[in-house]
Amino acid sequence: HVATLYTAGDRLVLDDAAVRNLELVRTLDGERRGSLLHLLDETKTAMGARALRSRLLEPLTDIERIRRRHDAVELFLCDARTRDQARAQLAEVGDIERLAVRTAVGLASPRDLGVIRNSLRAIEALHADLCARPGGALDDALASLHGADPCADVLALLDRALVPEPPSIDRQGGIFSAGYLEQLDELRALSTTAKDVVLDLERRERERTGIGSLKVKFTKVFGYYIEITKSKLDAVPDEYVRKQTIANGERFITAELAELQDRILHADERARALEGAAFLDLRAEVGEQAPRLHRLARVVASLDTSATLAEVAHRRGYVRPTVDSTRELLLEDSRHPTVECYAAKDGFVPNTIELDPEGTRLMLLTGPNMAGKSTAMRQAALAVIMAQSGGFVAAKSARIGVVDRVYTRVGASDQLARGQSTFMVEMTEASSILRGATERSFVILDEIGRGTSTYDGLAIAWAVAEHLHDATRCRAIFATHYHELCELADRLPNAANYNVAAKEHDDSMVLLHQLVPGGSNRSYGLAVARLAGVPPVVLARAKAKLSELETRAATEPAPQIALFETPEPPASEVEATLRALDVERMTPVDALVTLARLRDLATRDED
C-alpha cells in the first residue's frame, strides 16, 4: 500500500469547531442521522463510504482535481442508465481494501477469499461495461478505471481454486473446487466412493488369480481382507499374506489392500490436512498481491463516491458549482441540505448569498431569533465544503472562488472539565479564527461577545468585525443581535447590512426566512418567548420592563425639577404589567398565577 503524501495547502482546512458546528459527520447531539454525511452517504461499498467521509473532512483546494471530480459526478448524473448499472454492480463488491490487509497478515478465512473473488468478478463486469460505454465529452473522468489493474490473474486463481460458497473456517474442509489439487480429488473420491474402489479391486484380483469366489470384505476388528475358500487355496499367489484362518477357508491381506485400507480409513483426515496446507499457500499468494488490491480498491471507492454524489444530486436537485481562482462566493437560491431534508416540513425558503472582494465581502446579518440567520450562514459554508469535496451543491447556481479554510463560531458551549466557561470557549474560537484566517478563508460568526456584559461584548464584536474587514480581508458573514454594529456598513467600504425578514402582528411574529438588504433594529425576543410557551405573567412583566428600558435609553437626562413643581409620579410596576397583559389569550390557570404575581409586586411597591 503506497501512502499518499500531501501538505496543508492541498486540502481545505477544517478545525474541530467547524466539523462540529457544521454537523459534517455527527449532529451536535452526537447522532449520525441529521448530519451531512448521513444525507449524502448512499454508497454501495464500504470503501466508498470511507472515501466519502474523507472527502467531506478533507476537501481539495486544487482546482483541476476538483473539476475532475465534478466531471465524474456529471458523467453519472447525465447518464442514468450507466449510473444505475454501475451502482448495481458496486453493490456486489465487498470490502476488498480491508480483506486485502487481512490476507496479507494471514488472518483471512476461506470465506474472505471468496468475497475477494466475487468482488473482483463484479469489478471485472463493471470495468467491461464502463469501457464499452459510447464515447462522450467526459470520458476522461473514467481514466482512472480505464488504466486500473483489474487483478485478472488473482481472479483467475481464486476462480479456479475456490468452491462457490467457501466455508468460514479452514479446518472443516470443503474449500477447493474439483480439479484444483489432484491428490485432494483422489482423497475425496476415496472418502465418497470407497465401496466402488473396493469392488474394482475385487474384480481385478479375480481376473489376475483366476479365483472366481475371491471376495474382499471388511470388519471393524480386522479391517479389509481377501477371503478365499479351502478349495481354491492352492491358487493363492505368493504375495498374499495369511491374516486369519476360518472354518471355510483363509483370509489374506496384500500390500495394495493394506495401502487402500489406510487411504480409505484416513481419507477425510488427510483431505482436511491437505486442504489446510493448500489454503495457507493460497492465502499467502493472494496476500502478496495486497498492494494491487489496494490500488484497485481506491479506484472503486472513487467510482462509488462519484456515482453516489450523482444519485443524490439527481434526487435532490443539486447543481454543478463553478470553482475557480477568484475570491467570489455567489450562491443563487441556495438551500441548507440537511434542514431542507429533515426539518423544513413546509418547504425550504432559498436565499441568495453573494460575497465579492471588490464589493461586499463582510455581510452583517441581523434579524429575529429563529428566523434562520444560522441556517443561512451554515448553508453557505456547507456549499463551499461540498463543492471542494467534488460534489454538487444545493442551489440554483453556484460560483465559488477556492477557499483555503472554513472557520465557524456558532452557538454557546462550555468545557467545564477543562476549566473553560462559555465566554472563554467563545473567545478561544474567535482567537483561532483571527490568527489563522487568510484572505482566501471563509468565516461565519454568530453572536460574538454575547457571553459577557453588553458593552464588553459590543466592543469585542465591533473590533472583531473591523479586523476581519481591514486586516484579514476574507469573505465573512457576521450574525449579531448588537444592532449598533449596523453602523459598520457606513464606515467600512466592503461591509453591507442584511437581515432576515419577519412581520409582527398582535404581539406575534411571522418568520419569512428571507434575506433582504438592510439592517434590523429588533430581535423579537418576546415573540420567540411566547412561541416557546413562557407564562403570560412573565411575558407581560418583560414587555413592561422592555418599554421602560427603551424609554430610558431614548430619553435625554431630565432637567432639574423646579422647586415648587410637583413631578408626575411614575407608573407602578403592577400598573405597567397589567397594561402589558394579553387577557384574552390567558387560561384560567395563567390568570391565577398572574394574580399571585401581581400581588407580590404590589407588596414590594408598598415596601
417-430: per-residue pLDDT in tens?
454 567 788 888 88
Chain centroid offset of residue 592 CA: 52
The reported pLDDT for the residue numbered 141 is 54
Cα R_g (the chain), whole angstroms: 40
Q: Which residue has the higher pLDDT, 521 or 6?
A: 521
Give the tens place of pLDDT for each residue, 235-291.
999 899 999 999 889 999 999 898 888 877 777 788 888 899 999 999 999 999 999
pLDDT of residue 4 exceeding 70: no
The reported pLDDT for the residue numbered 606 is 59
Give the tens place of pLDDT for each residue, 500-559.
877 766 556 666 678 888 876 666 666 666 766 777 777 777 777 767 766 766 665 544
pLDDT confidence bin for 566, thresholds 50/70/90? very low
What mean pLDDT value characterizes the chain?
Answer: 84
Please state which of the ranges 198-207, 229-238, 471-480, 561-570 shows the lowest mean pLDDT: 561-570
> What do you get for the CA distance between the two ends of the chain, in Å?
82
Please state which of the ranges 116-120, 136-140, 298-302, 328-332 shows the lowest mean pLDDT: 136-140
Task: Kindly list the distances between the CA atom of residue 450 and the CA atoms of 417, 422, 455, in Å, as whole numbers in the listed order.
Answer: 22, 10, 10
User: C-alpha cell of 258?
Assistant: 493394506
Q: Are strands 508-517 and 495-505 parallel, antiparallel or unpaired?
A: antiparallel
pLDDT confidence bin for 575, thresholds 50/70/90? confident
Which residues make Cβ contacts (< 8 Å) with residue 145, sequence separation at least 6? 127, 130, 131, 299, 303
Q: Which residue has the higher pLDDT, 343 or 391?
A: 391
Please state which of the ranges 86-95, 171-180, 236-245 shows the lowest mean pLDDT: 171-180
As a residue count, the chain comes to 607
Q: What are phi and psi of 357, to 5 degrees?
A: -60, -25
The reported pLDDT for the residue numbered 592 is 78
Cβ atoms of 432 and 467 within 8 Å: the answer is no
Task: Kindly list the distances between the CA atom of residue 204 and the CA atoms of 260, 357, 492, in Å, as whole numbers in the listed order.
Answer: 14, 99, 109
Cβ atoms of 257 and 226 within 8 Å: the answer is yes
User: C-alpha cell of 119?
Assistant: 468482488
Please state which of the ranges 218-227, 341-350, 571-580 shows the lowest mean pLDDT: 571-580
Nearest alpha carbon to residue 180 among 95, 285, 296: 285
Which residues make Cβ contacts (< 8 Å) with residue 1, sequence separation at least 6? 290, 291, 294
The reported pLDDT for the residue numbered 362 is 95
Give the tens place of pLDDT for each residue, 139-160.
555 666 667 788 999 999 999 9
Number of H helices, E strands in the chain: 23, 15
H or E segment and range at residue 51: helix 46-57
How far apart CA 393 and CA 320 sit, in angstroms, is 7
Mean pLDDT throughout 124-151? Answer: 72
Cβ atoms of 332 and 352 within 8 Å: the answer is yes
Q: Which residue has the higher pLDDT, 450 or 49?
A: 49
pLDDT of residue 326 exceeding 50: yes
Mean pLDDT throughout 68-78? Answer: 92
Cβ atoms of 86 and 303 within 8 Å: the answer is yes
Give the tens place of pLDDT for each residue, 200-224.
899 999 999 999 889 999 887 888 8
Please state which of the ranges 10-14, 358-362, 480-484, 561-565 shows the lowest mean pLDDT: 561-565
Beta bridge partners of 62: none
Which residues make Cβ contacts (< 8 Å) with residue 72, sequence separation at least 6? 138, 141, 142, 302, 303, 306, 390
